[in-house]
Amino acid sequence: MSANRREHARYQIALSTEVKTERRSFDAQTKNLSEGGCCIEAAYPLDEGADVRVSLFLTVDGIEDESMPPLVCGAKVQWTVEADADDPQSRHMAGLKFEGASNEQKAWLKSFLQRTSAED
C-alpha cells in the first residue's frame, strides 16, 4: 500500500476560477482546494506540465464577493483527465500545483481554508 504523498489537507470547495494559458482564457470551477493547489473542472483540457495563471473567486449565490479579492497566482498542471466524449455533462479535470504565490497570498489562502473548514 502506498503512502499518501499529499503535503496539504484537501477541502471540498467549489470556487469560480479563471484559467489563463498561452492559448486562451476560460472559466472553471474548483472541486477541491488546499494550501498547495486545487483540482478544477473545465470545458477545455489542459496539457500536463503546462504553466498556467489562475484566479480564484469567492462567490455567494453565483455572484463574486466584492469584499474578498481573488487569489491570483501561477500554477503547474500536475495531472489531467479528459472529458468523456459520450457524456455531454462530462468536463475535463486537472490537478494544479500553485507556484510563485507571495507570502501574503499564502496567508490569505490558509486563512480562507481555516475559516471554511471551521464553518463545516
The mean pLDDT values, 10 residues at a time, for the chain of 120 residues are 65 92 94 94 95 87 70 95 83 94 88 75
Task: Kindly report the pTM of this predicted structure.
Answer: 0.85
What cell numbers appear for 7 in the block?
503535503
Q: What are the structural domains of the chain? A: 16-119 (2.40.10.220)
* pLDDT reported for residue 83: 84
The Cα 11–Cα 38 span in angstroms is 9
CB 100 within 8 A of CB 74: yes
